[in-house]
Amino acid sequence: MRNRLLPVVPALTLLAMLGPVLAGLYGTVLPAFGHLPAAGLTGPNLDAFRALLAWPGLSRSVMLSLTTGLGTTVIALTLVMLLVAGWSGTRAFRVLERLLSPLLSVPHAAAAFGLAFLIAPSGWIARLLSPGVTGWTNPPDWLIVQDPWGLTMIGGMVVKEMPFLLLMTLAALGQTDAARARQIAAALGYGRTTGWLKAVFPRVYAQIRLPVYVVLAYGMSVVDVALILGPNTPPPLSVQIVKWMGQPDFTARLLASSAALLQLALVMGALLAWRVGEMLVARLGLAWINGGHRGAQDAPVRAMALTGGAVAALSVLLGLGVLGVWSFAGYWGFPDALPDAFTLKTWMRQGDGVLAALRETALIAGVVTFAALILTVGCLEAEYRHRRTLTQRGLWLLYLPLLIPQTAFLPGLQGLLLTLGADVGRAPVMLAHLVFVLPYVFLSLADPFRAWDMRNGTVAAALGASPDGILWRVRLPMLLRPVLTAVAVGLSVSVGQYLPTLLIGGGRVATLTTEAVALSSGGDRRAIAVFGLMQTGAALVPFALALLVPALVWRNRKGLQHG
């Protein structure tokens, strides 16, 4: 049975990932060109695009999408590369790596709340320094959070994307023979950072190119972080699309669809521009490498990179800390460093709501991650048994749902689901989550799965085990740790999803993330803090378990403890 099913799993996986994206895009294109038969509108025409061009905020919205996306990617990538170049292999690097890795799972919205509570003119930093250092008895009227240039938003995105790029880079390093390249460069007299950039970076970049593209596309189209940290006069294009989707008339819906297509074009254009930039950098870099400069002045660059990494890690950690303080705060006026009193009132008051949202979040994340795991293992096992390896083109397909902006296809998908009479609620939301969870689960499990020593399988087969027996009784148990890590990644991706839950759930599916962002419009910080912390916990606990469980299960199998 399974042997007949197995070959179709890869096709099924592609369908689960790309089906909703393509259907959603189709559902976006039609209204964008004025075709909405249910509303009595038959296109095609360009009215919606004309209205979009006439919207006075368009140029600024578009600029913001571009600058926040490109800014986030350039800064996060530069910092991670310089950090790895200058520090990998050192003690400081291991400390920083340990600080940054768990931050990968902190949901974007929670990190953004924490950052806002930290750096606002009335935030925790200002409170700690006031009035002693600053002399402020009232906070200064400075536009830090929601600044018109989106700088704070870029900061928030950078601290969240750095852990992702760092982990991708570390995974790539193993396959690039970096240690020897570095040794040779050092023997030839190159400085630490310069040597790494000249000898290792080109090989590493080729491996992490797609994750970099994901960061770029995500930075250009993120909604929840932009709602919390981004400017609002006007907001970035993605937020404006969601606002239009929420307006009670058809013309706004057409406008949202045309803006969604513009968003898609912008992201594609930015990716293309980035590709051109890559070639330019490659050409300039080649000249730089051929120049033969040894880079004796590496020290300030190293110091800067370490500072940047530390600031990023600390700002998320301190942000979570201030969320913790707010969740227990009685009255807390400026410029007091701590609240007048600590109380359990907020937790008790929000308790029922938080638990209900946690149940919903856990149910969705659990089912979706389980489905993603089945499909992923099915794909990888089919690849192993039938020698169907994923080509470079296949890898692109895997990344496609992450490269197409959510705002471009989710509104269309919502419309189509309704037209089909598909019930709102959990099931469609799970389907939408799967689109984003599946690629991450696949990417985290694929390499360890393929790296498994096949001789184990041969030995098991020689002892009479069937292919299924080998998978269940030898391979998966040996891969317990990477499987659990992939599950943790999947859960955290699902926990953090805002837009798919909101749009596809029709507002009825209340997860920790949607509740937290909904509360953000009200300004009850104590409640926001409770939901933000629970959201973080829901994503972090599985990671802790992924570390702990293999250590317990394999406590008497030394060789498997680090595998």
Partner 1 sequence: MKSLALLAALALPLSAHAQTDPADWDAVIAAAKGQTVYWNAWGGSTTTNDFIAWIGDKVKTEYGVTLEHVKLTDTADAVTRVLAEKQAGTDTGGAIDMIWINGANFAAMKDAGLLYGPFAEQLPNWQYVDTAGKTVQTDFTVPVEGYESPWAMAQVVFVYDSETMEPLGSMQAILDWATAHPGRFTYPQPPDFLGTTFLKQVLVDTLDDPSVLQQPATDENYAEVTAPLWDYLDKLTPTLWREGRAYPATGTAMFPLIADGEIDLSTSFSPGAATAAIANNELPDTVRTFVLDKGTIGNASFVAIPYNSSHTEGAMVVANALLSPEAQARAQDPGILGYGTVLAIDKLDTDQKALFDALDLGIATLSPEQLGTVQAEPHPSWMTRIADDWTSRYGVAQ
Which residues of this chain interact with partner 1, rule CB under 8 A?
A: 36, 38-40, 55-57, 60-61, 121-122, 137-139, 141-143, 145-148, 231-234, 245-253, 329-335, 343, 345, 349-350, 352-353, 414-415, 418-419, 421, 424, 506-508, 510, 515, 517-527
Q: Give whichever of 444 and 514 is closer to partner 1, judged by the CB atom.
A: 514
Closest separation in Å from C-beta 51 to partner 1: 11
Q: Are 499 and 109 in contact (CB under 8 A)?
A: no
CA nearest to 504, candidates 421, 402, 404, 433? 433
549-557: list long-range contacts, CB under 8 Å, 24+ apart.
549/480, 549/484, 550/480, 550/481, 550/484, 553/480, 554/480
Q: Is 292 helix (H, G, I), strand (E, B) or coil?
A: coil
Structure tokens at 139: 């906070």
**Helices 299-327 and 192-199, packing angle to 10 deg:** 90
Closest separation in Å from C-beta 57 to partner 1: 3
Cis peptide before 439 (omega within 30 of 0): no
CA nearest to 508, candidates 360, 353, 358? 360
Closest separation in Å from C-beta 140 to partner 1: 9
Q: Give whichever of 100 and 223 is closer to partner 1, judged by the CB atom.
A: 223
Closest separation in Å from C-beta 238 to partner 1: 15
Q: Give whichever of 142 and 472 is closer to partner 1, judged by the CB atom.
A: 142
Q: How far apart are CA 225 and CA 244, in angstroms?
A: 18
Q: Give whichever of 352 and 453 is closer to partner 1, judged by the CB atom.
A: 352
Closest separation in Å from C-beta 223 to partner 1: 12
Closest separation in Å from C-beta 19 to partner 1: 20
- At a CB cut-off of 8 Å and minimum separation 6, what does 181 contact? 199, 200, 203
Q: Give whichever of 354 and 379 is closer to partner 1, judged by the CB atom.
A: 354
Q: Give whichever of 406 and 520 is closer to partner 1, judged by the CB atom.
A: 520
Give, for 446, the enclosing helix (H) or strand (E): helix 426-451
Taking the CA atoms of the chain, what radius of gyration do you get in angstroms? 25
Q: Give whichever of 147 and 278 is closer to partner 1, judged by the CB atom.
A: 147
Altogether, the residues listed in the chain come to a count of 563
Structure tokens at 302: 């190293």
Q: Give whichever of 450 and 508 is closer to partner 1, judged by the CB atom.
A: 508
Buried-exposed string 457-472: b where 16+ CB fall within 10 A, e elsewhere: beebeeeebebeebbe
Q: Give whichever of 210 and 252 is closer to partner 1, judged by the CB atom.
A: 252
**Helices 9-32 and 345-386, packing angle to 10 deg:** 120
Q: Give whichever of 522 and 559 is closer to partner 1, judged by the CB atom.
A: 522
Closest separation in Å from C-beta 359 to partner 1: 14
- At a CB cut-off of 8 Å and minimum separation 6, what does 332 contact? 326, 338, 339, 340
Closest separation in Å from C-beta 20 to partner 1: 17
222: left (phi over 0), alpha (psi -120 to 50) or beta: beta
Closest separation in Å from C-beta 396 to partner 1: 33
CA nearest to 336, candidates 118, 130, 121, 114? 130
Q: Are 432 and 410 in contact (CB under 8 A)?
A: yes
Q: Give whichever of 89 and 132 is closer to partner 1, judged by the CB atom.
A: 132
Closest separation in Å from C-beta 437 to partner 1: 24
Q: Are 123 and 129 in contact (CB under 8 A)?
A: no
Closest separation in Å from C-beta 136 to partner 1: 9
